Copies of this chain bind each other. A is one copy, B any other.
Amino acid sequence: MGISELPPHYQPVLGQVVTSMLVNGETRNTLPVSDRGLQYGDGLFETIAVREGKTEFWDRHLARLREGCTRLGFDEPDLEELRREMQFLINGQHTREGVDQGILKIIVTRGAGGRGYCVPEAINPTRIVAFHPWPDIPESHTREGVKARRCHLQLGRQSALAGIKHLNRLENVLARTEWDDPEIVEGLLCSEGGYAIEGTMSNLFVERGETLVTPDLSHCGVAGIIRAIVMEEARSQGLSVAVADIRYEDVITAKALFLTNSIIGIWPVRELEGKEFAISSTISTLMKRLKARRRADREK
């Protein structure tokens, strides 16, 4: 996404402080309690990497956000406003602080109001855009891989919510409370049948023989943007790629494993529940390819 003209009502803020959050275009960091995002988790979010002052894979994030609106049955937010608000935050950080990388978190909710679960006829979606600093991630996570564990919590199956990035995230929160060892970087979540689905904040890829497998997310899990890009890149390299049910036993006995999300890119798994894994040549290749894709997307 490139630099764009900002409408006049954003201008007064620019001269004052660095705005890092806009709620429906206004510089504030609060939301009405009546918003259904709080009351019921009735909304969606996206976490977008910003580097060199540019968003990565915005088109993909936007497509998933729009799909989420359709799936949850609410009106899309004003997408032109949303894009302007994002750009405003990026520009503001850069102009005032010289910051050109960070994370844009977008939250879109169905809006405020309604007595109980029933949705009122007149309701306008809420847009929240926030700019967060780029997190302090050890470079070794990428270079040497990470240590992961298997979580006890099992993901429930709910095809009505699977794939989209909705705000009902108690399963992820509870899974993440299972450990506090800082050496363990991610937890692997399985569904009731013992099928591996994803990490608490990442998608999973498993190398089985000559095939790269990523879990089927028809019943639970979030369909990550980087997951889709990695599948494309793997196929373009002539690799066999499958979206399939994978039992935990097949994960732990795999040739290699890795995790993906929009911020981390690819993290090889170096250790899972005491079992060690190497960084395969496939992983190294995909890391290089992804890096190039991220750069190309920023520059487009």
Interface residue from B35, B135, B161, B169 paired with A115 (Cβ < 8 Å)? B135
- Do the beta carbons of B119 and A177 come within 8 Å of each other? yes
Q: Which residue on chain B has the smallest CB distance to residue A162? A: B156
Given contacts A29-B32, A29-B33, contact A41 B170 (CB under 8 A): yes
- Do the beta carbons of B41 and A167 come within 8 Å of each other? yes
Q: Does A118 interact with chain B (Cβ within 8 Å)?
A: yes
| A49: min CB distance to chain B, Å | 14
Within 8 A of B (CB), among A115-157: 115-119, 128, 130, 132, 135, 153, 155-157
**Interface residues of A, count at CB 8 A:** 53
- Do the beta carbons of A72 and B174 come within 8 Å of each other? yes
Residues of B near A33 (CB, < 8 A) are: 21, 23, 29-31, 107, 128, 130
Interface residue from B32, B130, B153, B160 paired with A174 (Cβ < 8 Å)? B160
| A71: min CB distance to chain B, Å | 9
- Do the beta carbons of B31 and A173 come within 8 Å of each other? no
Inter-chain CA distance A168–B173, complex, in Å, is 12
Interface residue from B37, B40, B201 paired with A116 (Cβ < 8 Å)? B201
Q: Does A95 interact with chain B (Cβ within 8 Å)?
A: no
Residues of B near A250 (CB, < 8 A) are: none
Given contacts A107-B38, A200-B117, contact A169 B168 (CB under 8 A): yes
B-contacting residues of A (Cβ < 8 Å)?
21, 23, 29-42, 45, 72-73, 107, 110, 115-119, 128, 130, 132, 135, 153, 155-158, 160-161, 166-177, 192, 200-201, 220
Q: Supply 9 further A-B pairs (C-beta < 8 A) apart from A29-B33, A31-B38, A156-B156.
A: A42-B170, A72-B173, A117-B173, A119-B173, A157-B157, A160-B171, A161-B171, A166-B170, A168-B168
A–B pairs, 12, beta carbons within 8 Å? A23-B33, A30-B33, A37-B38, A38-B167, A72-B173, A73-B177, A110-B173, A115-B135, A118-B176, A119-B173, A156-B161, A157-B157
